[in-house]
Amino acid sequence: MQVKPGTPARVALDPLPRAAATAAEEAPRLVVSVDGYRPSSSGPVQFVVTIDCAGKKEEVGRFGIFPDAAFEAGGKVAAQQFGFDMPEAACKERSEAVISVEPSTGTGEGAVLTLGRVAIE
């Protein structure tokens, strides 16, 4: 699944099973794995992660790729992973993670993020 300017990725998330949620010592986190990246030719970009639960949207974090250089996971190149704390009132039903591109400067044209696994852990 790819994220491009004007084309966010929407990933369905299953809630944690109740037993796992109550047994966990730490609050659940959303983990986003990035398998590839191509930078924008017009300037740096950042990626915005939002949780959409029953129409209620809440930003949970932002990230950027460093160094700002193209990569593809595989062989000697590892995927990059980013973790975000879930909101206090985490969604108790199915929700969506929405990952979008936001240019820091320029238009973000040419930026492509290839997602791997996106899940609540």
Q: Domain count for the chain, please give it.
A: 1
Tokens describing residue 104: 């820091």
**104: DSSP letter:** S
| DSSP per-residue letters across 5-71 | TTB-EEEEEPPPPHHHHHH-SS--EEEEEEEEEE--SSS-EEEEEEEEETTEEEEEEEE--SSSS-E
Find which of 16-25, 58-67, 91-100 is predicted with most confidence, using mean pLDDT: 58-67
Q: What's residue 60's pLDDT?
A: 94
pLDDT surpassing 90 at residue 89: no
Q: What's residue 113's pLDDT?
A: 97
Instruction: Please say whether the beta carbons of 47 and 30 come within 8 A.
Output: no
Domain CATH for 16: 2.60.120
Containing structural domain, residue 71 = 2-120
pLDDT per residue as tens digits for the range 27-37: 788 999 999 99
Give the torsion sign (CA, 84, 90, 95, 101): negative
